[in-house]
Structures are given as structure tokens and as C-alpha cells.
Amino acid sequence: MELGVMANCFSDKSWEDACKAAKDAGLSAIEPGSGGFVGKAHCDPAALLKNHDAVREFKETAEKNELKISALACHGNPLHPQKEISDEHTKDLEASIELASMIGVGVINCFAGCPGAGEDAKYPNWITCPWPTYFEEAVKWQWEKKVIPFWKKMAKKAKEVGIKFGLEMHPGDVVYNTEALLKLREEVGAEEISCNFDPSHLFWQGMDPIVSMRYLGNAIVHVHAKDSRINSSVVDFRGVNDWKHYRELAKRAWTFRTVGYGHGAEFWNNFVSTLRFIGYDGVISIEHEDPLMSVNEGLSKAIEFLGKVLIYEKPGEMWWA
């Protein structure tokens, strides 16, 4: 296993300085944003593709800092009912596919997206209940008319160049849990529909990330290291669904935390052991979104914590068996 970082925490730095910061921190991988909601601070695929020298320089900047680019992060909503948004995010995704194939990156992390509840919708509609029955009908329409056709098209594009999508299970997205991800993978019928596994979004929904990983198995192609913490006094009052801004920490039901500050070493030891058990031996990419810590402190603590947790060496022969 290798330890890396999602580069958005370095968005105030140039690509070269971000890579240097990752190297100086002792990391061996970096994951730049390439569009959608995460932006293009270090990697604008469409702009890079206009100049092959720029593409080469982008790749070589990571290499000279002894970093691999573990994935491109293009988390947007290509199914947004407002065409200008869906078109922009789709173009970002398509450009990311082309760039990734040129620089030898095999994974694009992204969201499946969320459409509206009908053709005349203005905003996405995240549906999490079946009744009244119009919700059930709307979900059926979303999947049959929007979700499956779009991802069949994208999976075909990705397969042509050997790319896999690391879909991240996320609230507000049609793929927000393990079942939905596996459903999309089955309906599309393509291994290109894979998973970027981030446990932070599962904890507060009441899911067990360890169980989820065992169900997903080899569908996991990339991993984010991010924790979350439940505010039990708020949850006991009004439950886990929460639209309050991430800055309103005391009023929120849950918040993102640096690894180790939501769940301790026992969980994370089990987490990396399960990854090894299911055959994942790739990059664990730290995603810093802890509102209580600076980037420097949060990243440093995550690196120190995970450095003791990750399994680096290949297992030896079972001499005792």
C-alpha cells in the first residue's frame, strides 16, 4: 500500500509546489482535481490537451518529485437537470478520460450524479423514500432515463482507453450507498463502473464500511482516507439528515474529521486489513476536510496516524500452516 493525498488541500499552491509539498511530507502519490465541483486548481484537462508539451510537463512534475498520480478527481454532476451545468461537468469528465489515458493514469474519481425528478426539473432531486408513490416513480425514471444511459455511454468511452471510474458513494447522489453502486455496475454491465471508497460518507448513514468493502471487493479501485464524527446530541434530537452548512459545527449532526479523530486505530487497522483481504494494495489518498484543523496540522496528523496503520510489505509464506 502507498500513502497519497488529494491535492485540493494545496489549491493555493502551483502544481509544482503542491507536488513538492507532498514529497516533503513523505507521500508517494497525489490526486489532482480535474473538474466538476472540486475545480481545476492543478489540472485543467481541456487546456492541457491543447498542448502536448504541457501534458508532458504536468506528468514530469509529479515524477521528478517521486510521486505517482493515483487518480484524477472529477467530482461533478453530469446528470444535473440544468443543461449548462451537466454539459460542463460531462465535458470535464470526457477531457479527464483523454488526459488520463495520455499520462498513464488508470482511474478517474467522480460522482454518478443526480438528475431531477422529471424533464422539466430545475434542481437535482435526491430521493431516499418510496412513498408517496411518486417518489418511487421518480427514482425509476431517474435510473432508466438518465443514470443508466449516461453511464453506459461513459463506460464505453472509458473502456476504449483502459480507464475505470472510481465512483464515490456520497449524499445527494444517486449512488450514495453500496447497493446503489453495485446496482449501477450491474445495470451498465461494465467493470469500468468501479468505486473510490471513502468511509466518511458511510459512517453517518449508519453503514459499516468494513461490510461495504467486503461486498464491493475488486470493484474498489481507489481509496480516500477521511473520517467523520457523529454529534450524538444533535442526532438524538433530529436525526442524521442535515442541510446545515458545514461551518455550523455545533448545529450539525455530523462533520468530517481527520483520520483517527472520528474513529480510532482499531477501526483503521481493520480498514486496511480488509483492503488487503479483498485484494486492494494501492494508494490510500488522504482527503483533508477537517474544519477544526489547519491543512498542515490535519495532513501531518493523518500521515503520522496512517503511517502506523498501513500495511506496506507483501505477506510472507505461512510457515506456521
Q: Give pLDDT tens digits for 271-286.
A: 999 999 999 999 999 9
Other CB atoms within a 10 A radius of the CB of residue 34 amount to 32
Q: Is the pLDDT of residue 321 over 90?
A: no
Domain boundaries, the chain: 2-309
Say whether pLDDT at 98 is over 90. yes
Grid coordinates of 82: 440544468
**Which runs of consecutive H residues, i.e. helices, occur in 65-167?**
83-103, 133-141, 148-161
pLDDT at 124: 99
- CB-based burial label for 300 (10 Å; 0-12, 13-18, 19+): middle
Which residues make Cβ contacts (< 8 Å) with residue 105, sequence separation at least 6?
69, 70, 71, 72, 99, 163
For residues 176-192, average pLDDT: 98
Render pLDDT for 235-276 as a digit per residue (tens, 0 to 9).
Answer: 999 999 999 999 999 999 999 999 999 999 999 999 999 999
At 121, give phi and psi (nearest 5°). Answer: -70, 150
Average pLDDT over residues 181-186: 99
3-state secondary structure of 75: coil
CA 280 from chain centre, in angstroms, equals: 16
Q: What is the pLDDT of residues 125-153, one digit of tens each?
A: 999 999 999 999 999 999 999 999 999 99
The cell numbers describing 112, all together, are 454518478
Closest CA to 217 of 182, 173, 177: 182
Sheet containing 193-197: which strands, arranged edge to edge?
68-69, 29-31, 2-6, 283-286, 220-225, 193-197, 164-167, 107-110, 72-73
Q: Which CATH number does 2-309 carry?
A: 3.20.20.150
pLDDT in tens, 20-54: 999 999 999 999 999 999 999 999 999 999 999 99
Average pLDDT value for residue range 94-98: 99
What is the average pLDDT value for the chain, to the nearest integer? 98
